[in-house]
Amino acid sequence: MTKKLAFLFLMMAILMIASPVYAQSGGAPASTNWGPIGIGIGMGLAAGLAGLGQGKVAASVAEALARNPGARPGIQLALFIGLAFIESLVLFTFVLLFIRTVK
Amino acid sequence: MPEQLWFTELLNHHFGAATTLLLGHLGIHPAYPNAPISNAVAMELLVIGVLLVFFALVRASLSVEKPGGLQHSVEAVQEFIAEQAHGVIGHGYERYLPYAITVGYFILLSNLLGLVPGFESPTASPTVPLGCAVVTFVYYHFHGIRTQRLRYVKQFTGPVLGLSWLMLPIELISHLARILSLTVRLYANMFAGDMVTMAFFSLVPILVPVAFLGLHLFVSLVQTFIFVMLTLVYLGMAVSEEH
């Protein structure tokens, strides 16, 4: 255990020392390319928030089905259409990011 | 020259010159005169051909006394969509079934074609879903006007005449947004499915992409279902008497 911990701390120390090495680029950076970072943040926000929304939908559907299994067809219809509408917002983001970055 | 699948190349080899000539008469000049037929159009034509052959086979094998397996499966699809349409539209839904089922078969086969090596999904290019969405849009407005005549305008102006100046732009924009959302949903799902499979293929080229192909199969079915359901929902809203 101690051996493993020692190894871990050693690795961390090495990485800390080495971190200035990562930051070095050839000469002064002309301009940072923020595109990929923006894509990551945008897509992450869209996907994460839509995940929260779809989670709520799925929770409600599970509850509704547990209460009244006989109403399955109507509930499933609402489930699919609701999920499709939430999901399409993420897909709008995806398409926008794609057409903005890939010319 | 764009990258072509073998089927596109075949079509362009035989019909490319004629297509360019025809488009030239219509005042359209394709970017590549030697290959005017794009992959999406070629795949679309393939889907149409396969569907025509399929339905010809089904039509030839229909029988009341001894229904075969093909007839059973086609009837199952028909009954499933009819049940959904009955729930959404209600009375008089039979009239709209042929369109919904046809567009469903077309989209389903288009989506699944991407899983066959050597082909690609026509729905993974934005023009094909746009075509389906525009046809759906025209179709439900046509039936809305057919069933309600001049009362159809009321759906856009709302029940209170005083608020119609506010309701009209909102309704117009929401109706036009349906084209956008139908198009982008189908296109982006198919396209993103291909992208995800490619991304994982470039990371781990063995076994892992198969899982995403399975996911793509599931997404193909679900997106077809959603397109058909939304078509029926929009139709139901357009032809319903009270709104």
Taking only the tens place, the pLDDT of each residue in B85-94 is 998 888 888 9
Indicate the domain borders of chain A.
49-103
pLDDT score for B195: 87
Distance CA B131, CA B123 (A): 10
Q: Which range, of A15-24, B2-11, B36-45, B234-243, averages the lowest pLDDT? A: A15-24
Is A100's pLDDT higher than 70?
Answer: yes
Q: How confident is the model at residue A74 (pLDDT cuts 50, 70, 90)?
A: confident
How many domains, in total, are found in chain B?
1
- Domain-embedded: residue B131: yes
Nearest by CB: A81 against B188, B189, B229 = B229
DSSP label at residue A69 = G
> Residue B76 sits in which domain range?
70-239
B130 and chain A: CB distance < 8 Å anywhere?
Answer: no
Is the Cβ pair B230, A84 closer than 8 Å?
yes
Residues in A touching B189 (Cβ below 8 Å): 87, 91
B168 and chain A: CB distance < 8 Å anywhere?
Answer: no
Q: How confident is the model at residue A21 (pLDDT cuts 50, 70, 90)?
A: low
Taking the CB of residue A71, how many other CB atoms lie within 10 A of it? 12
Q: How confident is the model at residue B65 (pLDDT cuts 50, 70, 90)?
A: confident
DSSP label at residue A34 = -
Instruction: Look up residue B95 and give its amino acid.
Output: R
Tokens of B194: 């291909």
Distance CA A79, CA A61 (A): 7
- Domain-embedded: residue B26: no
Task: Yes or no: say if B122 and B44 are a contact pair by the CB < 8 Å rule.
Answer: yes
- Domain-embedded: residue B61: no
Residues in B touching A91 (Cβ below 8 Å): 184-185, 188-189, 192
Is the Cβ pair B226, A95 closer than 8 Å?
no
ipTM above 0.90, yes or no: no
Q: Is B81 helix (H, G, I), strand (E, B) or coil?
A: helix
Taking the CB of residue B239, how many other CB atoms lie within 10 A of it? 22
- Output A37 or B53, whichever has higher pLDDT: B53
- Domain-embedded: residue B220: yes
Q: Give burial (CB, 10 Å; 0-12/13-18/19+) of A67.
A: exposed
Mean pLDDT, residues A63-68 taken together:
94
Q: Is B158 helix (H, G, I), strand (E, B) or coil?
A: coil
Nearest of B227, B228, B221 to residue B193 by alpha carbon: B221
A92 and chain B: CB distance < 8 Å anywhere?
Answer: yes
Interface residue of B79, B83, B185 to substitute, partner A, most A CBs within 10 Å:
B185
Q: How confident is the model at residue A25 (pLDDT cuts 50, 70, 90)?
A: low
Residue pairs spanning A and B at CB distance below 8 A? 37
Nearest by CB: A92 against B84, B87, B184 = B184
